[in-house]
Amino acid sequence: MPRDFTPARAPAETQSTLTESRKLGELPVWRLEDLYPSKTSDAFVGDLEKAARDALAFETKWKGNLATALNATGSDSLAAALTQMDALEDLLGRVASYAGLTYYSDMTNVENGKFFGDVQAKLTDISSRLLFFALELNRIEDEAVDAAMDRDPALAHYRPWIVDLRKDKPFQLDDRIEQLFLEKSMTGAAAFNRLFDETLASLRFKVGDKEQTLEPTLTMLQDADPEVRKSAAEALSLTFRDNIRIFVLVTNTLAKDKEISDRWRGFEDIADARHLSNRVEREVVDALAAAVREAYPRLSHRYYAMKAKWLGMDQMNYWDRNAPLKETPDRLIPWTEAKETVLSAYGSFAPEMAEIASRFFDGGWIDAPARPGKAPGAFAHPTVPSAHPYVLLNYLGKPRDVMTLAHELGHGVHQVLAGAQGALMCQTPLTLAETASVFGEMLTFRALLDRTTDKRERKAMLAQKVEDMINTVVRQIAFYEFERKVHTARKEGELTAEKIGELWLSVQSESLGPAIRISEGYESWWAYIPHFIHSPFYVYAYAFGDCLVNSLYAVYRQADQGFQQKYFELLKAGGTKHHSELLAPFGLDATDPSFWAKGLSMIEGLIDELEALDKAS
């Protein structure tokens, strides 16, 4: 992802920018030294060399011998092989995390980009030596593996990983083809991912006489001044349009690349590979998507009609969708206040949760400032169990930034707790990976709402929460529908910018409703969404997580005791249990058609409360 040691030219800071920066206070920058002292340190170079040696030794000892290891004991047993594999995954993950986080710190730095690319190439070569393990293990009869797990407690420890691995068996190819797919990924999907990232990081948007990066320009869409919002939207549209050929090329290439992989592996539906990696059934996702689409009129259409009236408009422009209400306090929230707000909300739920979250602030695990070249948006990176997660933000002091902090810290707490499962089993499927993040947001929102007595402030808070939930549920399912249309249409040939824009506008019009005026310029706004590039069909996980948490939070509000313990057990499970097992202790079942209706009804209830407040004022 980044480039060379020539820093990108930063836009000139205005006095306004400097004043706002001072209001936010000192923002933390992460300490990547916890992983390695530097890119050229003996520790980093040594670990990369050790990973190559260990992978070669692992291949030499175990390749072709797993069936024999199934009945062996001690250092020759399959349990011993899995223990070694777990340690190798941790080592490789540590190296990869350091390279990736260094890159995302400044994606326009050429030296960072070369470092990241070189490390990825070496890790791909190393991983190719380990590829045999899962393929060979899946060729052993299930009955023989089951008998060995029943016999050997050390092997039984890895039962969840082995059971999970078997689900991939019908879609595996022979060893040489799998190796080719892995090695060619560096010059295929990975290369186009990097092209997208570096293109996006290098874009500048001219608003008035000021040039700036993506993140602050998007933030201007939340400005109270409609002219500022319009200017920001026009700048976004213009720059996206000027660079659309690159985004169209990347989208066409990756959609075709995925179609080839899906065809070779035998996936029936364009999203089946994602469903498999998420360990969720297609029918469950279809039911979620159908429930959300059916609820568009009751949720987004209804809310945006109310908001247009509040803003004194018959129709809002597309750039007014996230405009603040006049009741919204117009102030920047300092970092210290954001920190206290989130930790207090977490602590009220469970002191252990606040204690884990506080480590992110105290240990240098957060990178908060928005700066040129840095990855846009926000994420929590789990790294590996032997280290600790890191959180990336672009904190600009808006109320939504506080909720983003709560969201990403939820991920971080989840990742810390799941780390005890080890490198092979700590990764939570995406559908459940959003549980702790959205729950953390909900805790923070409810804590703030409960202490707000002023009706005007309460209305502003409820409106913002409804908008966030619409963005998480309605918008993400619309994104999912857009991806389905794009990948389906790509099978018939390359897509033009006009065609992709047409598909984008069709799902946006359907999901946003008649209260939003979609005018010229918006047709290219699909171009900056990274999920479409990095993780096709990832987006439904947000809606899955939000609806799940709405139901989970309702259980929490009604529970007398014991909820927190069950909740922590859910987070600690990592990737060792299916969603049905994890939700059963709460009396929830995602396969029940009424499950999604319950989650959506909470959003509808907040809109009802807003409408009642409006009538009473």
Average model confidence (pLDDT) across the chain: 93
Q: Cβ(266)–Cβ(274) under 8 Å?
A: no
pLDDT score of 452: 85
Band the pLDDT of 329: cuts 50, 70, 90: confident
491 by Cβ neighbours in 10 Å (0-12 / 13-18 / 19+) ranks as: exposed
Length of the chain: 617
Q: What is the pLDDT of residues 344-388, one digit of tens each?
A: 999 999 999 999 999 999 999 999 999 999 998 999 999 999 999
At the topology level, CATH places domain 335-469+541-578 in Neurolysin; domain 3 (1.10.1370)
Provide the token pair at 257: 């690349």
pLDDT score of 288: 95
Band the pLDDT of 454: cuts 50, 70, 90: confident
Q: What is the pLDDT of residues 271-309, one digit of tens each?
A: 999 999 998 999 999 999 999 999 999 999 999 999 999
Q: Which residue has the higher pLDDT, 592 or 437?
A: 437
pLDDT score of 7: 27
Band the pLDDT of 21: cuts 50, 70, 90: low
Band the pLDDT of 142: cuts 50, 70, 90: very high
pLDDT score of 455: 86
Q: What is d(CA 453, CA 266) in angstroms, rounded to the nearest whole number?
A: 57
pLDDT at residue 238 is higher than 60: yes
Band the pLDDT of 50: cuts 50, 70, 90: very high
Amino acid at site 334: P
Which residue ranges make up each domain of the chain? 15-187, 203-327+473-540, 335-469+541-578
Contacts 24+ apart (CB under 8 A), 66-73: 66/133, 66/136, 66/137, 66/140, 67/140, 67/144, 70/140, 70/144, 70/145, 70/148, 71/148
CATH number given to 15-187: 1.20.140.70
Sheet holding 366-367, edge to edge: 366-367, 390-392, 379-381
pTM over 0.75: yes
Q: Say which CATH superfamily domain 203-327+473-540 falls into.
A: Oligoendopeptidase f, C-terminal domain (1.10.1370.20)
Q: At what angle do helices 244-265 and 497-512 cross, to 10 degrees?
A: 80
Radius of gyration of the chain (CA): 24
> What percent of the chain is modeled with pLDDT above 90?
86
Band the pLDDT of 20: cuts 50, 70, 90: low
Is 335-469+541-578 the same fold as 203-327+473-540?
yes
pLDDT score of 90: 98
pLDDT at residue 8 is higher than 50: no
pLDDT at residue 1 is higher than 60: no
Provide the token pair at 99: 């390279």
Provide the token pair at 114: 């070369």
> What percent of the chain is modeled with pLDDT above 70?
96
pLDDT at residue 338 is higher than 60: yes
pLDDT at residue 15 is higher than 50: no
